[in-house]
Structure formats: structure tokens, C-alpha cells
Amino acid sequence: MTDNNPKPPPDTPDSDDFCNQWPFELSEYLQFDDNQWMHDDIPSFSSENVSNQVHQPSNVREFERDESYFEGSSSRETGGRENRQVVRERFAFKTISEIEVLDDGYRWRKYGKKMVKNNPNPRNYYRCSVDGCSVKKRVERDKDDPRCVITTYEGNHTHPSSS
């Protein structure tokens, strides 16, 4: 599962290198504002706005990030079980893909699955399977476009990718 990618993803999506290293093409960039997905310079989140930029099944269509948000101020993100003021980075993107779990060079262990409101597709929760690494990701299909997979990463890896 981890040997299909030519390059591992970076730990931080903070530079042009991020777009160059990620194993799929980034075409949209968005930002988080607390729990809201803010669309910087993008009129709406609909896939039609970016569909003309998609050329391959695995292309990333939209990309978002949220730097330095505080777990303690967003208890929904932790199930309300943690109050530590831990700074994490969160970013998300939408891809067109048959498979839900993109091979990003890391090993992930599924720890939860949940039906969410206003979406007939379940949301899957994954955690990095490397000891000491607390990176998580959520994966769900877009309710408006089942071909699209929305992946949300949370935190930074404390180790190199396994590929």
C-alpha cells in the first residue's frame, strides 16, 4: 500500500515544495477559519468551479489548511476529551478518486467510522500507525459529487514516510 508513490508528502504544506512533493496535483488553495472552511479567492466550493482543472482521476481539486489552531479551543476536534493547548496544523483537499484512502506514503490505521449529517456517505477516521505520531486524517466522499474524496489531515508527522 505504501509503495505506489514516487514521492512522500511533506510534513507541512507551507511552500511550493509542498505542491511539488505531494503525489497529486494541487489546483485549489483554501483556508480554514476555526471550524469553517474559508474559500480564499474562490467564489464557492462547488466542484464545477474547478472541474476544468482536473485532468486525472487522482488530481487534487481543492486544498485547504488551518495553521496553528488550538485543540483546547475546538473540543469538537478531539471529542471533548483533551484540553491541552496543543498547536496543530490542519489542512484538507478534495480529490477525484475511485479509492478513498490516498496512498500518501504513510501507514494509517482506521479507528472510526461515522455517518455525518447531510451526507449519505460515511466519514472514516484514520490515525498514523507509527508509535508516537499523532497525525490524524478524516476521509469522506463529497455528498454533491461522489467521485470526489475530501481528505482532512491534522497534525504533522514526527517521522519520515514509510515508503
Q: Please, which residue, 54 or 126, has the CB nearer to DNA?
A: 126
Question: Where does residue 53 fall: left (phi above 0), alpha (psi -120 to 50 degrees), or beta otherwise?
Answer: alpha
116 forms part of the interface with DNA (CB under 7 A): yes
d(CA 98, CA 109): 20
- For residue 33, what are the contacts with CB-CB under 8 A and spacing of at least 6? 66
**Which of 22-30, 43-51, 77-85, 141-149 is the region at the interface with DNA (rule: CB under 7 A)?**
77-85
Among 90, 108, 148, 149, binds DNA (CB under 7 A): 108
142 forms part of the interface with DNA (CB under 7 A): no
Round to the nearest angstrom and report the end-to-end CA distance of the chain. Answer: 9
**Least distance from DNA to the Cβ atom of residue 128, Å:** 10
Measured CA distances, 136 to 8, 47, 116, 118, 120 (Å): 17, 25, 18, 23, 22
Among 47, 125, 145, 147, binds DNA (CB under 7 A): 125
**Least distance from DNA to the Cβ atom of residue 73, Å:** 8
What single-letter DSSP state applies at residue 71? G
160 forms part of the interface with DNA (CB under 7 A): no
Segment 5 to 64, residues that bind DNA, using CB under 7 A: none
Among 36, 76, 120, 132, binds DNA (CB under 7 A): 76
What single-letter DSSP state applies at residue 50? T
79 forms part of the interface with DNA (CB under 7 A): yes
Coil, helix or strand for 115?
strand
143 forms part of the interface with DNA (CB under 7 A): no
Residues near DNA, by CB under 7 A: 75-81, 107-114, 116-118, 123, 125-126, 129, 136, 138
